[in-house]
Amino acid sequence: MGLKLNIATTSLLLLLASAAEVSGDIIFYVTKYGARTDGNSDISQALLKAWGDACPCKAPINFVVQGTVMAPVDTSRFRAEAGWITFQQIDQFTLSGDGVFDGQGKIVWGTKCLSSAYCNQLPINLRFNFITNSMVKDITSRDSKQFHINLLGCKNLTFYNIVISAPQESLNTDGIHSGRSSGINITDSTIETGDDCVSIGDGSEQINIQRVTCGPGHGISVGSLGKYCRDPSPWETRGTQLIVTRGTCYQPDHHHLDSPKDMHGAVILSGPPQGKANDVSASPIQGRANDAGRA
């Protein structure tokens, strides 16, 4: 269980992990493990050493980020179809702080994504694999090269007061993508990307979205639920319960759009006949035109 860094991370102002034990909280400051905060140094080894001392996680662990963590611009430093930072197989985990995960994705956005699988090879800012009974709050994901946050096999995971930010021209930069996960709550957050605000894939159950502002891309997207139904595994035959409460989606001025696709507040995509979506409710989703200054 633990933390996986695919590549170097730089420009960390302050980062610490705290593990609670019977005797009280133990705090691990990454700067004490050799991490430098000059904006140019690789802090991945220092972070992994601190994490190694904090885990195996025998008690709830709080990973606090204050400042900015930056991904390398050079995509050759990433393995194909991997994440930039991955948290996996942890129970009672909290990611918090006012920190920013900056994927520095501007250099890779472009029309190439529309005609090839190029974008799918780019790194996702944050991956959460098999995380249970946990929370992500008060953090920002900025300019991811691909999806900002990807969930796989998670259960009872809450996102609260998070900000996801990328400009209108950022293609294939879904805010939060859920796959094979249940009990996912996304509340009181702002998700502004060039693609889906929240995309819900196969095997997703009990997805609750409340007081979330989306735009300038698509809003809530339910699709591809039967895409992976070649094998009769349990998650591939479940339906999806989606509840959206007080969602707000704003659309940009289409006269200034370079993207050929229209933007939508909510989308349910067609797929193979095995896929199904159950108990989808929205009360209400509000749409509004975008201000000229916000596009």
Whole-number Å distance between alpha carbons of 33 and 117: 39
Q: How far is CA 110 from CA 118, 165, 258, in A?
A: 10, 17, 10
Decide if 218 is catalytic.
yes
Q: Is 99 helix (H, G, I), strand (E, B) or coil?
A: coil
What are the structure tokens assigned to 196, written together? 């889906």
Whole-number Å distance between alpha carbons of 249 and 198: 11
- Ranges of H-type helices in the chain: 44-54, 112-115
Determine phi and psi for 11, rounding to 5 degrees: 55, 60
- Catalytic-labelled residue, pool 148, 177, 218, 264: 218
Residue 90 per-residue DSSP state: -
Active site residues: 218
